């Protein structure tokens, strides 16, 4: 979410979610801060989790209840299309865009399995990130810039995510250093 979106809707929950794919590993990390307007209401929320049978990881930015609804819907799509994250994500995006209830959900997601990383939005976007990294949320661009600077160095995917989130926390007031990171290795 951009700073102008945050200003226009002070009830949005700012956060930072980042994914990095490097050396046969994909990692998704997120901070733990939940904010309403200028108030921190929780510092240790878990916005990154394993879904499906544990072979998909995901993180969300936006309204918590909306994100959990989307995770549940994605898990249902993964049950319909086992081992096909891209197809499940496209089917979710179709529903998200066309269903009257889902259209009102205010969240973004990053999901990944061993083969593909995707950014999902309520406008029907299913985007595979360039250069193996993507960030969402109020601090997403800061974390993404840091990750891109670190990706060609010696750090592995998880270490890049951890360091990039730490850098984002230095810049974005809606991001803290209480992070959750999940990772998967390619088969």
Identified catalytic residue from 2, 15, 69, 121 = 15
Give residues with Cβ within 8 angstroms of 77, minimum separation 6: 87, 88, 89, 91, 92
Which tokens in the block code for residue 158?
A: 């998880």
39 catalytic per annotation? no
Q: Among residues 101, 48, 94, 56, which one has the least CA distance to residue 75?
A: 56
Cα–Cα distances (Å) from 65 to 58, 72, 129, 143, in that order, read 15, 11, 26, 24
Q: Give the Cα separation of 57 and 88 in Å (integer).
A: 14
Neighbours of 17 (CB within 10 A): 30
Q: What letter does residue 91 receive in the DSSP assignment?
A: H
Reported as type and span, the H/E element at residue 135 is strand 133-137
Catalytic positions, written as ranges? 15
């Amino acid at each position: 979410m951009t700073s102008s979106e945050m200003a226009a809707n002070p009830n949005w929950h700012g956060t930072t979610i980042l994914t990095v794919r490097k050396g046969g590993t994909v990692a998704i990390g997120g901070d733990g801060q939940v904010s309403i307007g200028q108030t921190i209401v929780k510092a240790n929320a878990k916005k990154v989790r394993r879904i499906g049978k544990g072979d998909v990881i995901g993180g969300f930015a936006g309204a918590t209840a909306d994100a959990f609804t989307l995770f549940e819907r994605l898990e249902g799509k993964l049950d319909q299309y086992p081992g096909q994250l891209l197809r499940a994500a496209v089917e979710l995006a179709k529903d998200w865009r066309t269903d009257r209830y889902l259209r009102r959900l205010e969240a973004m997601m990053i999901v990944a399995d061993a083969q593909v990383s995707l950014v999902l939005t309520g406008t029907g976007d299913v985007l595979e990130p360039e250069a193996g990294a993507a960030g969402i949320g109020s601090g997403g661009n800061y974390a993404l810039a840091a990750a891109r600077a670190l990706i060609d160095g010696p750090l592995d995917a998880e270490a890049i995510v951890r360091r990039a989130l730490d850098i984002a926390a230095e810049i974005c007031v809606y991001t803290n250093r209480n992070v959750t990171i999940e990772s998967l290795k390619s088969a």
